[in-house]
Structure 1
């Protein structure tokens, strides 16, 4: 099947999108770059001059290998839409689509079940051969290293088996075209160029990396467990939190729903001198108002009907440790009074009891309610607020800490992939960009739910795509302008678009243009209205009606 037919068969052009407003080009799930070949060639020359030809060759081969694997992911999505060999040929078409080379498969011996492969590819207009010849002249050996890397990576990604291509002829050597031969690594034996696949060891860089890790290790406190982040907004909050870890000061965590207030409270407890004591979390909004006091402060036997035995409340259970009160703004007025007394005296009184009990509890409170507004509305006690707000910590929403999203995603994938027995390489580039563009009203909790769902839907061994994260296209942030999709259609679409653009100039007259179009169709159909209507995509009756209208129009003669 010719390359053009392959492109039309699998509608490859529709998968390429330009978005000038955001400065992005997408080929399906992968972000692309449109670069000057001359500039890229200059960088290739500098690599050879700086690193030497062998190391540059290995680096360019690996770069091409990675690009080939990316395109193989797109091709594998098309399996089932046509013959396997036609789907495999999408790779050469994509390579041409990206402006790198025109490749034609001249021989292919493929056993799809066994995974064996032997292939020969004829390559024309290799940008790499052209660039090398411009900078270094005729070469004594093949120079299309990124090209052979791409072919190797694409075929390896498609067959899920290591297949290596070598260049047997090269235009830079004076040959008429480049020629590649590919077969499995075992078939090549010791001559498979496997030394180009592992990254080269860079001892100075490795030493610097180890030194940096040692310096980081000397820091007294670092985010651990579910507390993950590296953004400036997160680090500012973490620094404030870590300063309170070694004290008994009451901490008030504030932030939107889903920002992870309990995770911050848990970290505070685990990094205090109370870490070996209980950490008790209470969601005040989840407990009915008539039960909140008994849950917090306990119940004495006989205090009310049904109180058949005495039981301690959350304060007593947290004695010596930390009590985390989430959704504090939902506390009833009577519970607020008792909580204030506990903070003042360090004593609690069970419901129905006549004596107090001493407790040693570090209190961490959290709310997504504006407590100062609640005070103004009479819904929260001012004296309790000032007791709780000794050390307020504002946790930023996820949309203000976007650099943390990839780190959080990695942690969530590590958490959920084993649960669903999946092996996942991560997210596609477009999926990563979609997460960065999303406005996250549900914050970290929403991210966790989305990633768990994506892990469940994704195919093991394949990257997570946008379709696994969201239902259809990712939601647009509130207030964000809706942009055209930038899809690259076929040449006919482009011509139609240009024609419409040319028509919509000054003095455009829709009626006049429609009349001319109707008359042209009738002339081309030699007066046969049925054929003319078919040309216009309307019925014969509609055409006759419109022609009659123009004939009766007083302006008809001027058209």
Structure 2
């Protein structure tokens, strides 16, 4: 049964292949197998006991294994742990899904690793025939937890880091197919790629599988391995570090942040790693990303990490300077250079001499201004408005834009020669919705700063507020999160906690679709009625969210409808209408 095509034997992962139409089945049959029993201290996935684990703990475990046993032995051990997990999940998937659609049965594996919080899988190609033993799989992996743990400890490297995930894929697929299937990771977040990419096919189709098989040596894989069953030797010439040195060399779990922002996600760590790499050089850097992701913060950090740190950092918001003043602002003006120029003054280039000039929103410059900027960059000299001589300047240019400059060049709104002059070292900062692991850190960081700024004592966030903050799409990114928490700190009562009615007051659309623990121990979609104790007011989805916000606002306002309406950002008549609509009484 074929559901797409991809690189076959003899083809590399870079070959162009049509992903085909791969139908991914619903996950509800697997999700309902996940149960929490907090009163027993247990989590179950079907009949297998599970446990939650911090990503930082996984990173520490990997680091201990690598430094104690050497990278080769550690990789083999971690890979085999993943293999065992894969075989267990394959047995459960066979039990849960035993339909006629082979692909649907197999895709339980990629869905299980997503359910278990390991990674999100996107099938690119899938070709399965169990009876004939034919298998080929090509998957893109988003936000792999293992890669994130590796990056947090070792940064971006040159080798794939998802050892346990590869072992899982080998174990799951081999158990599913009844023959050894070997997977390899061709792209990895730990190597700086946007996503991880893995390809799997029968061992004999690889042709050079011995190097991978030595890490497995499990079950059917043993007969394919040319290595002995002894522990894998380390390739480190100096041997593992002594325990005392390992502890001393281990970086802090929460390293001191030098970027003025906080984060733990792989996307955040990748940006920090890239900035650290380019900062000591003289290369021109351009930060790309949506509005509000923190481009100026990273630009400032780049300057502080550079050799020019003791020289000026001058920031220019190109969008805020009128067209007729752009030349004088950038290059300066001599007295009498234009009507009203009563004195000579230097421009931003001269003020940044020896340091860094940050040009924010550079795509808003007119074509005329772009041409004058290009000449200054090419010649390394500027000429003040109304002056007859040029001045040499030594500045490092760092730019930023939320516009796709290639599209702007194609549209004729941005000069191609200036684009190539600026595009020496581009750094893309991902939006907040693509690095949700950073949200809890930012929430508490902003809360502490803003509560201190406004001299208020706030105890934290209510649970439903946390759920909403995680589910929100954040079109305004980090800036919107900061503004929302500042607004909430101002609205909240002294000594209280931040709730929905304090945070979402300007018409934001909240998606409460995460899975939560219900009283009967099942995981259910946020907002769905609790089967163990249904209530007349229980309504799924956004309706329940609105009911929750209305009740919270009325409670916060102690029954004062005018104040409750102000908290929600609506009029009092509209509040009264909604209270009547949901049958909410005010006492």
Q: TM-score, normalised by structure 1?
A: 0.49
Task: Pick the structure with greater CA Rg.
Answer: 1
Larger relative helix fraction: 1
Using CA pairs below 8 Å that are at least 6 residues apart, which structure has the higher relative contact order? 1
